[in-house]
Every structure is written in C-alpha cells, then in structure tokens.
Structure 1
Amino acid sequence: MAERPGLVVVKVGSSSLRGPDGLLDRSVVARLGHQLARVRADGSRVVLVSSGAVSAGMGLLGLHHRPRERELLQACAAVGQAELINAYQHVFDDHGLSAAQVLLTQDDFVGRGRYLGARRTLRRLLELETIPVINENDTIAFDELAYGDNDHLAALVASMLHADLLVVLSDVDGVHDAPPGRPGARVIPRIDDPATLDDVLVGGTGSHVGSGGMRTKVDSAQVVTSSGGAVVIANAARPDVVVDAVAGRSVGTLFPARPRASDARRLWIGFALRIRGRVVVDAGAVEALTRRGTSLLPVGVVDVDGDFVAGSCVEITGPDGVAVARGLTTLAAEDLRLIAGRSTTEAREALGAGRIREVVHRDQLFVFPDHRAARGDA
C-alpha cells in the first residue's frame, strides 16, 4: 500500500476478546480501542466489526460452554451486546470519540433498499467522526449464529464502503504454508491470488484454509480484494498490530487489492452466502448467463438438487457439472422441479401467472470469472 488508507475496517473475533474466565476481556478491548483511536488520530477513518456479544453474554449468564440451543444463543447475544458496546465506549471516552452501535444481518446486504440504507447510515456516521462498531444482529439472526464469526460481514462492510484496507484479527499469525504447529511452518507474507492456496498445504486448528476459520477469512479476502481493497490477516495479540498494518508494515498475511472492482452485493452472493441447493442448466443457459448477462429462466433448467425455499442462495452448474454462477432463487425447489425445462407460458400454466418470473434475476446473480467457482461452500 503506497498511500495511507483513508478508510480502514477492522474485524476482531470472539476468541480474541474472550478471557480465560469466559467473560469479555476488557484489557483486550482496551488495547484494541486505543489502537483504533491512534489510527483515527493519524488521519484514517475507522470502522470496527466486532464479535463477542454471545461470549460476553455467556459470561454474564454464568455459562461455560457455547449453547447449542438457538434461543439461548440469541439470549446470550441480547445480554452481551450492551456489555460489548459499553466496553468500547469506555475506551473511546479517553480519546474524545464516540462509538456508534450498528447491528446488521445478511438481509441488509441482499435487499437493495436495505443495502443502500445501511451504506448511507454508515457514511453519515463516519462524517460525524464516530467509530461505528458493527456486529451481526444475533438476537434475531438465524444462519449467522450457526456459522458466522463476522468475517463475511466485515468483508461486505469493507466492500460496501469502498474501504482501502480490511484488517482481520485472529488467534493465529496469518495464513501458513503448513500446519502452524509443525516445525518449519511459516506465515505466507503475501498472497496475490487466493486460488493459489488450493495447491498449498496449510493446516492446524483455526488456521487450515479448508476449515471454517481460515477458509471464511480467505473467502472474505477475495470479496474485498475483488472490490478494490487490501486485506491483512494477523494475530490480535501482536502489539500494535492494527497500527502497524495501517502503516503498511509487514504483519501477518497481506492480500493486495486487485485493479478491477466488482459489485459488493454480487460478491456477497458469490462468496459469503451459504449454498442451499444446486441448479443444473443447459449449455444455452450457460451462454446466456455468462456471455449475455441475462437472468435464469425456467426453460434453461435441467435438474434441481436440494430442498430450498424461495430467496435461497443456489449454485448454478452447467451440464458438465462445472459451477458457473451463484444466485438467489425466486422459487422453492419443489416449484422449480415442476417447471424445469418449460417455457415461461408453460410455467405460468403450471404454477399460476402471478408466481412466475425469473428463476434467478440477473441483479441477484454472481457469475464466476472464467467459470471458476470458489472452492467449498461459504
């Protein structure tokens, strides 16, 4: 990064914020908050995406293990969210800064109106010189609690706001070229193309590219770099890690920005949403989707795999099984099976005129570059 980034998004995970007693570790919050204030004082605007509400609530409620019951998880988030934001504000008070709590869900990025509304609000908060502290709205969310640790959310926020840099703080030093515990394992200082990681052996708890932890971080890096920002994955425990990353010093693993910028919402669909099913299309549909940028119509559908509802993210593959796109379907799997291969007129007769439209609208479609899908489900 030749110039100091104008806007920085910092993401910190639950494991980095939770103390050995299960409570929110305020000393960690303090170290991070002071760093953000320094970055802000040096001229960069800052947005923080912070996990920790569930773990903070667990501590306050006397729970020693993460609950499996959804309602109890959501209750922990409700109790812990106030603890989390108060901890940050206590630190920012020392610097004359205000924290602005923002709770988001997947729907805030998929729906166009809510996406634009969230972006306007965040931009206004930055104009008011606050530090937005963003978290998933775990109190009402569903899928987020099941698999998310805010990596994807941070990537979409960074892409939405055209951030120059996303700093992802973890409990490992970066992406390794071998399991971190293995003798000789080293951090990869720079990764220009995340696809090259498919040929690199990396492993270990929390740092295996194929596992939930590092896999989501690498996918998130791909979202941000594809939309024009750089990404650094580094250890939250490293002294002054955020300050050094913003200054361009070597900390962790750097994913440099790519020259071409893509639409954030489509990137979210392509890399961040969980796949609920697959739709096989014929060669003509592949041509229409990838070359002409059209919507997917029922006539091009050959087969449907999975049991999904309308609005789900589905992977679209050609007759050769190669994934060419992902998108949000307007129809449930059972309805799509009923009209697969039929013309629009025939589909109307089968389901009713008011229910037939595109299977996937082009505005809700992400086409993989060179027909190459991201490895693994997000």
Structure 2
Amino acid sequence: MKTSYRKVVIKIGSNVLTRDNGLPDLERIEHLVSQLSCLKKKGVEVIVISSGAVASGRSLIKVQEKQNTVAARQLLASIGQIKLINTYMRLFERHDLLCSQVLVTKEDFRDRMHYLNIKNCLEILLQHHVVPIVNENDVVSVTELMFTDNDELAGLVASMLNADALLILSNVDGIYDGDPKAAGTKVIERVEPGSNHLSSFITTSKSGFGRGGMVTKLSMAQKIAKLGIPVHIANGKKENIILDVFAGQAVHTQFLPEKITSGKKKWIAHSENSATGVVKLNEGAKQALISGKASSLLPVGIVNVQSEFQKGDIIKLVDEHDVLIGLGIAEYGSDKARERLGEKGQRPLVHYNYFYAVL
C-alpha cells in the first residue's frame, strides 16, 4: 500500500452487493472479502459498514406488493441479515479470519454514554483481530429513527474510531464534473478542503436499491474530511478496487482532510439530532465562532435562550435568522444562561474545545 493507513472504515453500498434484479451478487461479495482479507494480512484494521440485508431477504422470500413498505422492509431485513452475516462469516473463514455482526440504530448514538459503549465494543473486536460488520438494524429502525443511509453511519463510525480513512464503495467511479453520461465528463479526483461548489454537479436522484444518493455522500464526505479524516468514493463494481484505491492506482474521488480534531468534537459533529437546547447568537458572536480562531461562546454574544437544557447537554447555536451555526456542550444550564444573557465578564456557555462549527 502506498498510503500509511492503519485503520480504515469501508462502506459497501447496496448497489455494489446486488445484481440488476435486486438479488445478492455473491461473486462480488466474495471478491470484496478477498481484498478486505488482504488488508488484514498487511496489518490494517478493517471495519466494514455493509448494506445488503434487505436484498438478501429478497432472495429468500417473496413479499406481496400490497404489503406496507415499512413492514416489508422489516420482514426482509430480519430474514436477510442472517443470510448476509453468514455469507460474510463463511467467506472470511476461508481466509482464516473472524468477523462479527454489529447492528445499531440512531438511538444507540443519542448520548455520550451510548456512543462510548458502541466505541468500546468495536475497539475490543479490533483488538482481537475480528472484522466488525456493521449495519443499521432495519428491523427496529423506522422513519425518524433511521439514519439517512449507511453513508451517515459509516461517517459516524469513522469519526468515532478516529479512522485513518473512510472508503465509500458505490456503483460509480466518484463525483463527476458534469453528467456522467455526457461525453467529456471526468471524475473529480481531488477535493480540497473548503470546496463548496461540487453540489452543482450532482443530480438529486437516487439509484438502484440504496436509500441514499450522491448528494448525501457528498455532504457526509465533506463533513468527515472537515474532521480530519480523508474520504474516498470509488466504484465497488470494479475488480480489485479496494486495494487499488489504497495503492493510489484507481480513478476515484478523494476528499483531502482538514486538520485533525479531537474525539469529543467528532462526537459533537454527529449529535445534531440529540441536541436538547437552542441558543440564539448575535452577529459578533457568530463571526467569532466561525472565524476558525479559538473562540468560545460568551454570554455577551447571546441574544436569546430558546429552550431548556442542562449542564453537559449538546445545544444548537443559531444566528438571528435561525440558521444553524454549530453545536456545542453546555458548560451550565439554561437558567444560568438566561441570568447572564448579554453580560460581559462571564464564563463561556460553550468552550471552544467543545464546539463544532457547521458553517
């Protein structure tokens, strides 16, 4: 490997694992496992985020068209997850490797304690040279409890484990500078930090059997790169793609990382859905926080405390137009924050070390 990556998270999408008819592509899965095993033999820690439970279920049972969509997904996932993990287990055993099943929901990441429980579980598996196969638990994850897709879950796991890289395998070569079907269109191979123009190149349509599209991949990749982790998007249908990406020999899109942030900030970055309070800031406080300098949120910059929260809670910081500026951990509760509203010389409500800028 040309890269010095020692811990990688690899997300394998539904479109990579399935054939055109929606059934599992066992030859493709076998080829991917062979590459993953090769990484393991080179001493690389590998965490796999794998879709495919619903597709595996589809190969075992026929669902009536009139069946409720959520119920059908639960049925197929419940049956299919067994087949999927057994397929992985059988294939990894051929390479004298163990894999494990880790099923999670968004609720499992709702607070710091649950977050650390998942982290500790994954770390003990890696310490024992086991390959964790992580997937969303579609049996209990419905509607608002669901991740946007497994791209979101992959980004969260990569941040949580402080991975050296995240590789997202899709059914396209990466992000293109135009319509992929148009003549002369090329893959954007390097995305520098702070590049915000890429969304104009991407269609909003979703493809194949996955929940997410390239828009969510772009958003997540930029977020993870901002946290200091390089992100690669590549075509999982290509032969030897995993090894070629890490050897620098595959055409794909790579998001270059910004400076590495702390583990606490990485957790905060993924905590928008579990934030309890909302605090409105004036323009001066907003500019200070998004300037890139080490600035904490002082009460003098607070316009309004819009909802209740306690010390240690994740809170949202919004500007005077209710646009989200960032997320942070409250140093004290909403009652004290209201008492100190607009006052100078008070200690920060959110310290810089525990603030993550969204803008």
TM bucket normalised to smaller: 0.7 to 0.9
Equivalenced residues, count: 336
Summarize the Cα distance change of 1:113–1:322 in structure 2 as closer, same or farther, 3 Å threshold.
closer
Q: Secondary structure at the match of 2:30?
A: helix
* 2-structure distance, mates of 1:328, 1:77: 36
**TM-score for the superposition, normalised by structure 2:** 0.78
**What's 1:196 paired with?**
196
CA distance in 2, matches of 1:4, 1:40: 14
CA contact (8 A) 2:278 2:305 kept: no
Corresponding residue of 1:350 = none
1:114-133 to 2 correspondence within 5 Å?
Answer: 114-133=114-133
One-letter amino acid matched to 1:265 = W
Match of residue 142 from structure 2:
142
- Counterparts of 1:150-189 in structure 2, within 5 Å, are 150-189=150-189
Partner of 2:304: 301
Deviations 1:286-309 (A, max 9, x none): 589777645999x843879xxxxx
The percentage of aligned residue pairs carrying the same residue is 32
Task: Mark the CA change 1:161 to 1:285 in structure 2 (over 3 Å): closer, same or farther.
Answer: same
Q: Which residue among 251, 260, 266 is the counterpart of 2:268?
A: 266
1:251 to 1:321, Cα distance in 2 relative to 1, 3 A: same
Alpha carbons of 1:126 and 1:184: their partners in 2 closer, same or farther (altered >3 Å)? Answer: same
* Cα distance, 1:60–1:278 mapped onto 2, change above 3 Å: farther
Deviation, structure 1 residue 178? 0.4
Q: After TM superposition, give the deviation of residue 144 of structure 1 in Å.
A: 6.9
TM-score (norm 1): 0.75
Within 2, Cα distance between the matches of 1:144 and 1:133? 23
Is the contact between residue 275 and residue 314 of structure 2 (CA under 8 Å) also seen in structure 1? yes
Counterpart of 1:324 in structure 2 is 325
Q: Which runs of 5+ in 1 are unaligned?
A: 305-311, 330-338, 346-359, 374-378
Cα distance in 2 for partners of 1:303, 1:170 equals 41
Structure-2 change in CA distance of 1:73 and 1:313 (3 Å): farther
Counterpart for residue 345 of structure 2: none
Distance apart, 1:9 and its partner CA? 0.9
Q: Which secondary structure does the structure 2 equivalent of 1:301 belong to?
A: strand
Q: Which runs of 5+ in 2 are unaligned?
A: 308-312, 341-348
Compare 128-137 and 313-322 and name the one that shifted more. Answer: 313-322
Q: Identify if the C-alpha distance between structure 1 residues 322 and 121 changes in structure 2 by more than 3 Å, giving closer, same or farther.
A: closer
**SS at the partner of 1:174?**
coil
Q: 1:33 aligned to 2:33?
A: yes
User: d(CA) in 1 for partners of 2:284 and 2:212?
Assistant: 35
Q: For residues 44-95 of structure 1, give each alpha carbon's deviation from its aligned partner in whole angstroms, at most 9, with x where no partner exists.
A: 1111000111222233221387975323322222111111101111111110
SS in 2 for 1:234: strand
Does structure 1 residue 257 correspond to structure 2 residue 257? yes
In structure 2, relative to structure 1, the CA distance for the partners of 1:343 and 1:280 (3 Å cut) is closer
Kept after mapping to 2: 8 A contact 1:125/1:131: yes
Q: How far did residue 28 of structure 1 move?
A: 1.8
- The residue type paired with residue 160 of structure 1 is M
Contact kept in structure 2, 1:23 and 1:60, CA below 8 Å = no
Contact 1:39 1:246 in 2 (8 A): no
Residue 194 of structure 1: CA displacement? Answer: 5.5
Deviations along 1:298-329, one digit per CA (max 9) or x if unpaired, are x843879xxxxxxx998643124543124799
In structure 1, how many angstroms separate the alpha carbons of the residues matched to 2:287 and 2:192? 29
Residue 41 of structure 1 deviates from its aligned partner by 1.3
Q: Is the 8 A contact 1:282 1:319 kept in 2?
A: yes
How many Å separate the matches in 1 of 2:20 and 2:12?
Answer: 17
